[in-house]
Amino acid sequence: MLDAGPLLALLEHKPAAPRVNEIMKEAVRGHCRVLMSTVNYGEVYGILIQHHDALTAMHIVSAVSRLPVELHDVTPQRSLRAAELKTKYQLYYMDSFAASLAVENKATLVTSDIDFRKLGHSFPILWLKN
């Protein structure tokens, strides 16, 4: 389960990109699945717009369609579960969607965002360095 940070690292060739690339290769080999909430996908696009013009940001984010990333839409149930996690752990609402999808799928959350430390040991987290 990807938070926005790892995907952004991959798209912008940041220090965590090689590790995220390894995860993508494992998914292509069928050894794992890479999940992402559409909320966090939108977050990546929003951050790209801050650093680039909208056309460039759209070009960069369109590269995701070639990656083995399964985007999961927000459903009413997911929005409620995210709100519960937001309240319980004082997460940002966007982050709570990543956490919620990880819980739902019993997945490891891949992130570099230290705010997720608030979750304690609720589920596995793979910490990346920025």
Tens digit of pLDDT for each residue in 49-101? Answer: 999 999 999 999 999 999 999 999 999 999 999 999 999 999 999 999 999 99
What's the CA angle centered on 41, arms 64 and 95, to 5 degrees?
Answer: 145
pLDDT value of position 128: 95
Domains and CATH numbers, the chain: 4-127 (3.40.50.1010)
pLDDT at position 122, please?
A: 76
SS3 content of the chain, % helix, strand, coil (to 5): 60, 10, 25
pLDDT at 28: 97
Residue % of the chain over a pLDDT of 70: 100
Closest C-alpha among 119, 42, 37, 43 to residue 75: 37
Write down the pTM of the prediction: 0.92
The answer to whether the CB of 105 falls within 8 A of the CB of 1 is yes
pLDDT value at position 130?
Answer: 73
Query: Taking residues 12-31, what's their average pLDDT?
Result: 96
Sign of CA dihedral 121, 111, 76, 33: negative
The gap between the terminal CA atoms of the chain, to the nearest Å, is 17
Q: What is the pLDDT of residue 120?
A: 85
